[in-house]
A = this chain, B = another copy of it.
C-alpha cells in the first residue's frame, strides 16, 4: 500500500475472510459491530460492551454463541437471534443443538430461533432490533455474527482463478499460478469425505493447510486431502464437538448411514468429583461400515476426544476397528473400560451393520 516493492519467487496468500454484513436496514448505526480479527476494533467493541446493558447478537452459530456466553459472564442481558430452526444448525445435528439450547437457557441467555431481523432501529445510535414477527428487542449494542466470506480481493485483481467464492487451489495448495499458494479462509475447499465444496472456516483447518503449503513451496512434498472439519466449542459448562459428517450432512449428500450412540459419565465411578455425562454418536456408511463422522458432548475431555474421532475418520476406521481398538482408562480421567463411549457406540452400530 505504501509503494514499497517486495520481490518474490514464491508467494503465499493468507488473506483470510471478513465478516458478512447482511443488508438489513440500520446496519450502519453506531452501536452495531461485527466480530473481526483486529485488536483495535475488538478493543472498541469491549468499550461498547462496558457501556451496554442489553445486547442482541444476530446469528446463533459458534461465534455468536461463544460471544453471547462471554457477554453473559460480564453481566450483560443477552438475546441471540437465529434465522434457522435451531442455533448451531449448520454445524451440529439436532441432539447437540438441543443440548446447546438447554445450556443457553440454563445460563439465562435469551434465544429466538426461526426469527429474522427486519431492521436495526435507533436515532443516531442503536436502540432496538425489530423481528419479522413485529416484535421489538431492546438493544444498546448489536453484534452481527452471520458468517464470513473469503477475502479474495487481491487474488481476483491478480487474475487468479476463483471457485465457490474462494481462491481455487490444487491438492498441493497451489493457485492457478503455480508459484502462488493459498491457505486458510481465503482458499476454496473440498470435503475430505465427499469431495464436494466445503465452506469450512476454522483456524485448525487453516493451520493444517499451512503445514502443507509451507512444505510445498520449493518442492511438492505434501498433499492436502480435503477438509475433515473438526468443530469444538464450549458454552457455559458444556463442551461439544463434531468431526467429519453429521447425520444431516450425510443425508444431504445422499449417503446411507448407520449410527451408534453411547453415553456414560466421563469419570468412574459416577460418584467421582467432577464427573459429567459424556455422550458420543458415531456415523458409519452402510455400504462400507467406515466411520465418516462423530459428535460428542460432555466435559472438557471432549476437546481431545473429538480429535480421537477425527483421526479415526481420517484413517477410515470401520465400526469393527473402533469396537476393538485398545484404549486406556482411569477413574479420574475417563469412562470405565466397560462403558467407554467410543467402543460402545461402535458396538451399537455393529448390531445394525451386521444385523
- Contact status B232-A330, CB under 8 Å: yes
Interface size of A in residues (CB-CB distance below 8 Å): 56
B residues near A234, Cβ cutoff 8 Å: 330, 332-333
- The quantity of this chain's copies bound in the complex is 2
Query: Quick one: which of A301-319 are within 8 Å of B by CB?
Result: 301-308, 310-312, 314-315, 317
Question: Given A243-B328, A302-B333, A328-B241, do A323 and B232 touch, yes or no (CB 8 Å)?
Answer: no
Asked whether A90 is an interface residue with its Cβ less than 8 Å from the other chain, the reply is no
- Contact status B334-A303, CB under 8 Å: yes
The main secondary structure of chain A at its interface with chain B is mixed
The closest CB in chain B to the CB of A206 belongs to B337
- Which A residues form the contact surface with B (CB < 8 A)? 192, 202-208, 211-212, 222, 224, 227-234, 239, 241, 243, 300-308, 310-312, 314-315, 317, 320, 323-330, 332-334, 336-338, 340, 343, 347
19 sample A-B contacts, Cβ–Cβ < 8 Å, listed by A number: A192-B326, A204-B340, A206-B337, A208-B327, A211-B323, A211-B343, A227-B326, A230-B326, A231-B328, A239-B330, A239-B332, A243-B328, A300-B301, A301-B304, A302-B333, A303-B304, A308-B311, A310-B327, A311-B312
**Top-7 shortest CB links A-B:** A303-B333, A230-B328, A207-B337, A304-B304, A307-B327, A228-B326, A234-B332
